[in-house]
Structure 1
Amino acid sequence: MKMGEIPGAQLGVIGALFLSVASSVSIVICNKALMSNLGFPFATTLTSWHLIVTYCSLHVALRLNFFENKPIDMKTIMLFGILNGISIGFLNLSLGFNSIGFYQMTKLAIIPFTVLLETIFLKKQFSQKIKLSLFVLLLGVGIASITDLQLNFVGSILSLLAISTTCVGQILTNTIQKRLNVSSTQLLYQSAPFQAAVLFVSGPFVDQCLTKQNVFAHKYSTVVLAFILLSCVIAVFVNFSTFLVIGKTSPVTYQVLGHLKTCLVLAFGYTLLHDPFNARNILGILIAIIGMGLYSYFCTNESKKKQGGDVSSMPQVKEKDTTPLLVSQQDKEIGAKNSIV
């Protein structure tokens, strides 16, 4: 590996992380204005439109030779796309059938469940320091965002389904890219139509169940259409950066980044939208930031120790999930070409 390759790879990861955070926070603010202020509550149907626009944008980019399409086994990509579409539907249903607090608990549970799945099925090892930093992060986000915890049977089942499908989908996103040596753009381009199809068909029914309104009977003003278009454009960057970050780092790192977005959304909501904010929110955000800092610090140290070892023996060493927020997957896979994460 040449000396200049590592900084370049790190720069790519930093760019992917920044794009993911900026686009995700932007689309949350846009969608909040669309749904809360403009009265358009059809989240699942809107997500299907996001994916359709994403696919069309990537198709244009392919025609302009911005990337090269790489065929993937149809059965694999179909199951992958359908699974991701279903996971989005379950997340929306979980939000509809549960309190906000319980929904936040559902999102927090994705990290430990992902760690459990990767430990059991992918034989990945997570150090005690990494687990501690994740615990601090989850504690902070929980303090900052969880308000009430009202339980109900249907909502609990939907939350379990949302957690399991989301974790498996994100693990597969990383695994498929490594195993088949495809880029995030290539994977998103081929899977987006199947995700969009699932949500386009089921979206109106899910939204009708949650809102008691018909998306086709809604009155679309010029302002509503403008915000829908803006949301779809931002979603292109959200979808692209999601696949990019998971491919370059790991599902766990992506979830850590997701909780950073939660903290930023809370902060922006208070600053720009004047949402309620108190000392508990501030304390939770600070604890979450400490957790993210510890996660990145411990991962960086473990990655350096791993790189400092015998390179020739590294392919036989079990890989640890030591992907920091600012260290690329390339850096931690020296000598393990085309390894499966």
Structure 2
Amino acid sequence: MSLGVNKNRLTHTIFYLHFNLICSIVLVLLNRWIYVNIGFPNLTLTLLHFITTFIGLNICERFNLFQVKTVPLKDICLLSVTFCGFVIFTNLSLQFNTVGTYQLAKVVTTPVVVFLQKIFYKKDISFKIKCTLIPIIVGVVMNFYYDIKFNYIGTLCATLGVLITSSYQILVSSKQHELQMNPMQLLYYQTPVSSLMLLPIVIYFEPLTDTIFRTFNSLEVIIVCMSCIVALFVNISIYWIIGKTSPLTYNIFGHLKFCLTALGGFLIFNEPMSFMQCVGVILTLSGVTFYAHFKV
């Protein structure tokens, strides 16, 4: 009986990992396609992702996949602001950078979280962890410097995306402990509040002629809708994985996602990497691998 339960659990874990892997890669490539070939406004796409995720979470709640917990609105506001910021700037990073550079910039989030925790929460950083940050930072700088599509806007968006994402992750961890809520319960409140915050910004910065009054063909509509649905699947499957696997498994799988997504960018969008960029990628991945080894 125990063997059967373990086998069933392993089967579910493998499914969750592969489901998240496929969805994560598809989402990045879909969004890149939308920005490059459709020219769909970034903020509007982000807003649609938020709305779709909220609808999906309501469906999950109806099927008792999680329980909604009441929380004061004031406790969610700052979290929702950073949630908006991290999604907007990571999407802008994808819009203005190559897929490989976008993915590599996301890798820096983990060491930045460590530094922010050191600064604001006085958490100690071991010498080994500090050493792993050297190849990560050098590798990312090399990749940006030698990127054939290097641009200052893309670099700025990637930098802001990393800083805000790191702050968001720290806030999520803090709020989970403070409010005794799991990530899905927090996300249930974040998405509608973030949508309301983002709506006036969308109206002000993105003309209606680019969205409501623009004519889209059926393929473009399908691709945008697919992006929204896949974004929901990514958000939900992340929480499944965190609950079903170890941090080491999650980190190693993250490296696999990085490599496959960068390969997809090369094959689909013809975004080649120079030799020095490849060296930068290898340095960064080696640093992240050692970081995961020392942290777990």
Q: TM-score range by the shorter chain?
A: 0.7 to 0.9
Q: Which residue of 1 aligns with 2:188?
A: 189
Q: Does the CA-based 8 Å contact 2:108-2:136 persist in structure 1?
A: no
Q: In structure 2, how many angstroms separate the alpha carbons of the residues matched to 1:182 and 1:13?
A: 23
Q: 1:55 to 1:232 in 2, by over 3 A?
A: same
Report the count of equivalent residues: 286
CA RMSD of aligned residues (A): 4.1
Q: Distance in 1 between matches of 2:127 and 2:9?
A: 27
User: Whole-Å Cα distance in 2 between the matches of residues 173 and 15 of structure 1?
Assistant: 26
Partner of 1:26: 26
Deviation, 1:189, is: 1.1
Amino acid at match of 1:122: Y
Query: How do 1:293-304 and structure 2 match up within 5 A?
Result: 293-298=289-294
Within-5 A mapping of 1:30-49: 30-37=30-37, 39-49=38-48
1:292–1:161 distance in 2 versus 1, CA, 3 Å: closer
Alignment of 1:274-289 (within 5 A): 274-289=270-285
- Please name the residue that 2:136 is paired with: 137
SS, match of residue 66 in structure 1: coil
Give the structure with the larger helix fraction.
Answer: 2
Identity of paired residues, percent?
29
> Does the residue aligned with 1:217 lie in a helix, a strand or coil?
coil
How far does residue 229 in structure 1 lie from its aligned partner after superposition?
Answer: 1.1
Equivalent-residue separation in structure 2 for 1:102 and 1:65 (angstroms): 39
Tell me how far apart the structure 2 counterparts of residues 58 and 103 of structure 1 sit (CA, whole Å): 28
Post-superposition CA distance 1:150-174 (Å, at most 9, x none) = 558xx96x77765543332221112
In structure 2, how many angstroms separate the alpha carbons of the residues matched to 1:10 and 1:171?
30
Contact 2:82 2:168 in 1 (8 A): yes
**Pairing partner for 2:221 from 220, 225, 230:** 225
Alignment CA distance shift 1:266-1:201 (3 Å): same
1:310-330 deviation digits (Å, cap 9, x = unpaired): xxxxxxxxxxxx3x4xxxxxx
Match of 2:260 in 1: 264
State the partner residue of 1:78.
77
Aligned residue number for residue 127 of structure 2: 128
Q: Distance in 2 between matches of 1:247 and 1:239?
A: 13
Structure 1, unaligned stretches of length 5 or more? 1-7, 299-321, 325-341
Q: CA deviation at 1:76?
A: 0.7
- TM-score normalised to the size of structure 1? 0.67
Secondary structure of residue in 2 paired with 1:220: coil
Which residue in the other structure is 2:173 paired with? 174
Offset at residue 188 of structure 1 (A): 1.0
Supply the AA of the counterpart residue of 1:198: M
Q: Which residue of 2 aligns with 1:205?
A: 204
